[in-house]
Amino acid sequence: MTAEPAALAADPWTRPEWDRAALLTIDTQVDFVEGGASPIPGTAAVLPAVAALLEAFRAARRPIVHVIRLYRGDDVDLPRRTLLAAGAPVVRPGSPGSQLAPPLQPPGAPPLDADKLLAGEFQALGPGEWAMWKPRWGAFHRTELDGFLRGLDVSTVVVAGCNFPNCPRAAVLGASERDFRVVVASDAISGVDGRHLEEAGRLGAVHATAAGIVAAVG
């Protein structure tokens, strides 16, 4: 179910290029962790692995983008409009629940700036580390992430975070169809199972444990 760096990929077109890799954390916000307004089971359990990835990418001075959700007005995906219209307090702009889970916040980082993020800006949180807003499941849908990563000479994206069946899956698909090399952090995403990893593999994504990725990046 997991792979270590030596066995990550045989195909030269999908093999991760670690010196050109960026880490994407998906929806790792307070409201989606157990105890939050809309908890996703298993998210608290993967936070240590996500934090280990963040530490490794920071140490290697590789780019990190925290991809987040914020719900404003009626710009909400259809399956959640009823929930939000009923007043559910889920990742409301500026709310404590919309912030990154504390174990993942960069040292000395400012709070997320909802106005900047909703305007499509990448908010700097630390050296080589940013937050960005996505309006739907996919990190690349209606965002500038593709161009932003290419401007940093990124060829490989490592996907970690919250609830694989929804937003991480969409990030894997979006990255693959834009010809990024994709690594799924198999023990650093809530809701992932063996079938998900197999399906991602059919898109050219490889998978590895957080420990394996940390070793490769280091």
| Confidence (pLDDT) at 1 | 40
| Confidence (pLDDT) at 84 | 78
| CA dist., res. 206 & res. 204, Å (int) | 7
Q: How do the pLDDT tens digits run along the chain, 218 residues long?
A: 444 444 455 689 999 999 999 999 999 999 999 999 999 999 999 999 999 999 999 999 999 999 999 998 778 889 888 887 888 888 999 999 999 999 999 999 999 999 999 999 999 999 999 999 999 999 999 999 999 999 999 999 999 999 999 999 999 999 999 999 999 999 999 999 999 999 999 999 999 999 999 999 98
In the chain, the number of structural domains is: 1
Are 100 and 68 within 8 A, CB to CB? yes
Whole-number Cα distances in Å, 158 to 34, 98, 119, 188: 24, 23, 25, 10
Are 160 and 53 within 8 A, CB to CB? yes
| Confidence (pLDDT) at 83 | 81
| CA dist., res. 100 & res. 72, Å (int) | 18
Compute the C-alpha angle 141/91/22, nearest 5°: 45
Domain range for residue 42? 5-217
CATH, residue 95: 3.40.50.850
| CA dist., res. 92 & res. 125, Å (int) | 20
Element (H, E) at 52: helix 43-59
The string of pLDDT tens digits covering residues 115-146 is: 999 999 999 999 999 999 999 999 999 999 99
The string of pLDDT tens digits covering residues 144-176 is: 999 999 999 999 999 999 999 999 999 999 999
Handedness of CA 83, 87, 92, 93 (dihedral sign): positive
Whole-number Cα distances in Å, 153 to 62, 70, 125, 138: 11, 28, 20, 21
